[in-house]
Amino acid sequence: MDYNAGGHGRPDNQFDFDPRDDPDLPRAMENDIYMDKGDRNPSRNTTVATTGTKKKLGCWGTFCKGVRSLWATRQTEETKGNRELHVKTTLRELIIYIVFLVILCVVTFGMTSTTMYYYTKVMNDLFVETTHTGGGSFKTITNVNDFWKFARETLAKSLHWETYYNGQNITDPAAQGYIYYENKLLGVPRIRQLKVSSNSCVVHDDFKDVIRECYDSYSSNLEDKTTVTKGNYTAWTYRSEDDLDGSSYWGKLTHYSGAGYAQNLGRTKAETQAIIEYLFSELWIQRGTRVVFIDFTVYNANINLFCVVKLVVEFPATGGAISSSDFRTVKLIRYVTIKDYFIMACEFIFVLFIVYYMIEEGIEIKKHKLSYFKSFWNILDILVIIIAILCVAFDIYRQIAVDKKLSELIGNPDEHADFDFLSYWQTRFDNAIAIAVFFAWIKIFKYISFNKTMTQLSSTLGRCAKDLAGFAVMFLIIFLAFTQLGYLLFGTQVKDFSSFQDSFFTLFRIILGDFDFHQLEAANRVLGPIFFILFVFFVFFVLINMFLAIINDTYSEVKGDMANQKNEFEMTDYFKRGYMKMVEKLNFKRDKIVDIQKALQNADINQDQKLDFDEWRQDLKIRGYADGEIEALFAKYDIDGDRVLDEEEQRRMQEDLNNQKAALNKEYEELDKSDGNSDEVKREQMEKLVREELERWDSETSFSPSGRGASPSSGSSARGVRSRSRPGSGQQGVSYIDSGS
């Protein structure tokens, strides 16, 4: 039969009868190929007998059900034993989570850029790498003299760019106060030191007559807080951390408080040099000095970035000096450009997602109680939510604090602008959001159990967890033993073993092949080589291979087990099943259209060009339709209600059928196109078609053709059983065989 004939332009759903109103009707009549909710004759009230009533939800109940469905997950829905519902729920969760992950990545990567690295490098090269006339630089400082050479020459010159590259003075006030002509120096720099008091340590009795003073290593309870008044300088006045609005800092040697003796430097090169010369001549740095900080902040409007600089010189109790630096390039003013406002919109969506997932986890906790926390993925969900909430809270705090700080700075340009606290927490915020992104990507494994290959890794790690835990204990014991041995043997001579922590990480580097054997040999010609050989043998050859053996054996077991068992669910099978159901549905639609067209052609037994209801009913009863279904379909086109379809009414029905058949043929063509394309394109087209059909199935109930026959109680004859096959590319229809009429 030719399926290409038919009109165009009329949409689906042209018939208004809903067979769900009558349970005696064949359930397959729900198909949208011939049903429409609107009657052609609204004034007619066609009554169809029903054997039961369907309880309908009220508006509030429907609304609550719809809202509740927004948080439908595998843990809140009863998906066990229902593979299709399990797949749909998982796909829905995955799609929503991917959107959340994309938003999170946009927000995160929108905060950073490669420019931040180059900004840090430029400032580091200027203040740390630049050499003075003596040939030294900040990073080569080894004593007090080196520090003062750096401060008197390099520091003042680097802070204040008062001439152009041709030597001409910068006279424009708007162009003054810039570093590299682009970076505005905010406020004035500040130099601060922390000291310990004399006699803060105990001198042995044998040396008390020779050594009168003793200055211990730095500790907050040993700080020298003596205040001396010298003119208008504040460098001799001890001030607390709150007074200075300072922040504590971890140096190379120890942790330092934000208090101390502080002096603001000048706004010009001459003022800064004069203050430094005064401090140098008055011996501001003394024996008790344990650390000196130089703090300042610059802002580059071209890239909207702050660089908070801290130059640190520690003076240990051993004598000498150890220099270090901290450059924090941060974006404290968040919303300036169009891109920034786009990021702000994404941040708002991110907050909505956090609220969404908080409600979701709350529903799951309410349902599963304490057993909820037995799942690793649930704990990971809670962790990501907590980190995200902290990040959002700091984001709000930072915006308020920066606005306040900038307002204070504009009102007091001669004061030090301390952005250290904000930059510190901005760095912590960046770290936290980075961890959140990491865990968010790891969480993808929660949704990929539909594929055997993807589950092998998680199954392997889960199965060998106990073995790895036992191995970890044994490994840690041996590793810590070697760590202590290395620290005690070489700690006084080899930098990599100078502390227990350094020794620990040095041994990890040896495992990875990064080691310096000659340093060990030079430190101890006998025990150095023995230590190295024993460590490599026990840790590298024995323990590491045991670890690999545990993983390898477990992986083999998991792979063997998964080869003999069916997947939790297989997405390819799911799409294949959906495809077959769609083909079956199309075939069923086609059969219905063919039946009705045949009835229009053959039911007019007396050939009077009019089709009365008895002729219509007799023909369709033979084809297996129930009385209610026959009457409803007839009544839809019996506009005048005379129980007879005249030529115009028959023409309208035929036109609707042709339009429906044209739409059906188009769907067949979409399937046929997928046959002639590459596997990848075919897969994409198939998935698209299946998804479209699945969306329709959510709003209607599909039934197989075998359920179309009327029940014996209805008095209808059984519908012929048909065998079908998928239509080929050369034929839009599908052959069928009636086994009985």
Which residues belong to the annotated binding site for Ca(2+)?
638, 640, 642, 649
Residue 21 CB burial class (10 angstroms; 0-12, 13-18, ≥19) = middle
Query: Per the structure block, which two tokens stand in for 621?
Result: 């009863």
Element (H, E) at 292: strand 289-300
Query: Per the structure block, which two tokens stand in for 352?
Result: 């909505």
Query: Per the structure block, which two tokens stand in for 208?
Result: 């008390």
Instruction: Detail the residues annotated as belonging to a binding site.
Output: 638, 640, 642, 649
Beta-carbon neighbour count of residue 204 at 10 Å? 8
With beta carbons less than 8 A apart as the criterion, state whether 293 and 192 touch: yes
Please state, in angstroms and rounded to a whole number, the distance separating the CA atoms of residues 305 and 328: 10
Task: Report how far apart, in Å, the C-alpha atoms of 290 and of each of 189, 201, 258, 338, 430 are.
Answer: 20, 14, 13, 48, 31
With beta carbons less than 8 A apart as the criterion, state whether 520 and 494 touch: yes
Please state, in angstroms and rounded to a whole number, the distance separating the CA atoms of residues 406 and 334: 14
Residues with Cβ < 8 Å from 259, sequence gap 6 or more? 194, 223, 238, 239, 240, 241, 243, 244, 246
Q: Is the dihedral of CA 195, 199, 202, 203 positive or negative?
A: positive
Task: Report how far apart, in Å, the C-alpha atoms of 182 and of each of 175, 176, 452, 469 are.
Answer: 9, 10, 56, 55
Query: Per the structure block, which two tokens stand in for 118?
Result: 């180059």
Which one-letter DSSP state was computed for residue 536? Answer: I
Which one-letter DSSP state was computed for residue 299? Answer: E
Q: Is 374 helix (H, G, I), strand (E, B) or coil?
A: helix
Which one-letter DSSP state was computed for residue 154? Answer: I
Give helix then strand counts, H and E, for the chain: 21, 11
Beta-carbon neighbour count of residue 489 at 10 Å? 19
Beta-carbon neighbour count of residue 550 at 10 Å? 16
Query: Per the structure block, which two tokens stand in for 173?
Result: 């006030």
Query: Per the structure block, which two tokens stand in for 343?
Result: 């990021």
Please spell the DSSP secondary structure of 65-124, one letter per residue.
Answer: HHHHHTT--TTTS--TT-HHHHHHHHHHHHHHHHHHHHHHHHHHHTS--HHHHHHHHHHH
Task: Report how far apart, in Å, the C-alpha atoms of 396 and of each of 16, 151, 186, 389, 403 are.
Answer: 55, 38, 23, 11, 11
Residues with Cβ < 8 Å from 571, sequence gap 6 or more? 87, 450, 451
Q: Is 328 helix (H, G, I), strand (E, B) or coil?
A: strand
- Residue 401 CA to its chain's centroid (Å): 27
- Residue 370 CA to its chain's centroid (Å): 27
Please state, in angstroms and rounded to a whole number, the distance separating the CA atoms of residues 34 and 620: 15
Please state, in angstroms and rounded to a whole number, the distance separating the CA atoms of residues 88 and 200: 71
With beta carbons less than 8 A apart as the criterion, state whether 708 and 719 touch: yes
Q: Is 178 helix (H, G, I), strand (E, B) or coil?
A: strand
Please state, in angstroms and rounded to a whole number, the distance separating the CA atoms of residues 421 and 83: 54
Q: Kindly provide the b/e burial profile for residues 261-287, where b requires at least 16 CB atoms within 10 angstroms of the residue's own CB.
A: bbbbbbbbbeebbebbeebeeeebbeb
